[in-house]
Structure 1
Amino acid sequence: MKNKMMLESADVKAVAAAAEAEALKHHWAVTIAIVDDGGHLLHLQRLDGAPPVSAQIGPAKARTAAIGRRESKGYEDMINGGRTAFLSVAALDGMLEGGVPIVKDGQCLGAVGVSGVKSNEDAQIARAGIAALGL
Structure 2
Amino acid sequence: MQTKPFLTLTDVNAILDAAQREAETNGWAVTIAVADDGGHLLGLRRLDGAAPMTPSIASEKARAAALGRKNTQVFEEMINGGRNAFLSAPMDGLMSGGVPVMANGQVAGTVGVSGVKPDQDVQVAEAGVAAIG
1:81 paired residue number: 81
SS in 1 for 2:92: coil
Q: Percent sequence identity over matched residues?
A: 54
Q: Confirm or deny that 1:126 pairs with 2:105.
A: no
Partner of 1:31: 31
* Counterpart in the other structure of 1:63: 63
**Separation in 2, partners of 1:3, 1:58:** 28
1:105 equivalenced with 2:104 (yes/no): yes
- Corresponding letter in the other structure for 1:26: N
SS at match of 1:13: helix
Aligned: 1:21 with 2:21: yes
What TM-score do the two structures reach when normalised by structure 2?
A: 0.98
CA distance in structure 1 between the aligned counterparts of 2:119 and 2:94, rounded to whole angstroms: 13
Does the residue aligned with 1:102 lie in a helix, a strand or coil?
strand
CA distance in 2, matches of 1:107, 1:38: 12
* C-alpha displacement of 1:104: 1.2
The root-mean-square deviation of aligned C-alpha atoms, in Å, is 0.7
State the Cα deviation string for residues 72-119 of structure 1 (Å, max 9, x = none): 0100000111111111111x2001100000011110011100000111
Report what 2:12 is aligned to: 12
Q: SS of the counterpart of 1:49?
A: coil
Aligned to 2:54: 54
TM-score by length of 1: 0.96
Q: Which residue of 2 aligns with 1:94?
A: 93
Q: Extract unaligned runs of 5+ from structure 1.
A: none
In 2, Cα distance between the equivalents of 1:131 and 1:5? Answer: 16
CA distance in structure 1 between the aligned counterparts of 2:118 and 2:52, rounded to whole angstroms: 16
Distance 1:81 1:4 in 2: 34
